[in-house]
Amino acid sequence: MYGNTSFGDSSSSPELNDDQRKALRQELSTVAARTRELLPGEFVVGSELVESSSGPRATVAVRPPVGGIVSADYSLDGEYTIDETEREDLAVGLAASAALQVKQAQNGNTSQTAR
């Protein structure tokens, strides 16, 4: 009902300490590297970790040679690690979605439903 309205103390959003931030960046890099392994070299893969009003937010994105950008946002919700299964699921899901974007673009379908 209230959408993105924030009530209460805004300082209650979780923050990462330096060690947590470093570990999470490494895990995101691992997901990005695994995604690169699954795709041809024409796909550009990157990751970032940003602080938002709701706390830390991790993103891995793929830019296919044609079609729209595909990204996976990982809201941490108090957990500052991504386990091995989640890392593999993220990488495989991103690679599959990026490949689908290419296929749709080649077929003339420019809708970006694979996000």
CB 45 within 8 A of CB 109: no
- 4 found inside a domain: no
CB count in 10 Å sphere of residue 105: 17
Domain that holds residue 71: 39-106
- 10 found inside a domain: no
pTM: 0.75
pLDDT band at 13 (very low <50, low <70, confident <90, very high): low
* Residue-wise pLDDT tens digits, 22-76: 888 998 999 999 999 999 999 999 999 988 777 778 899 999 999 889 999 876 6
- 16 found inside a domain: no
Mind giving me the DSSP string for 76-98?
Answer: -TT-----HHHHHHHHHHHHHHH
Q: Can you state the angle between helices 84-106 and 18-38, rounded to 10 degrees? A: 40
Q: What share of the chain is helix, strand, coil (3-state, %, to 5)?
A: 40, 20, 40
Q: For the chain, how many structural domains are there in total?
A: 1
* Cα–Cα dist 112/103, whole Å: 11
- 64 found inside a domain: yes
- 112 found inside a domain: no
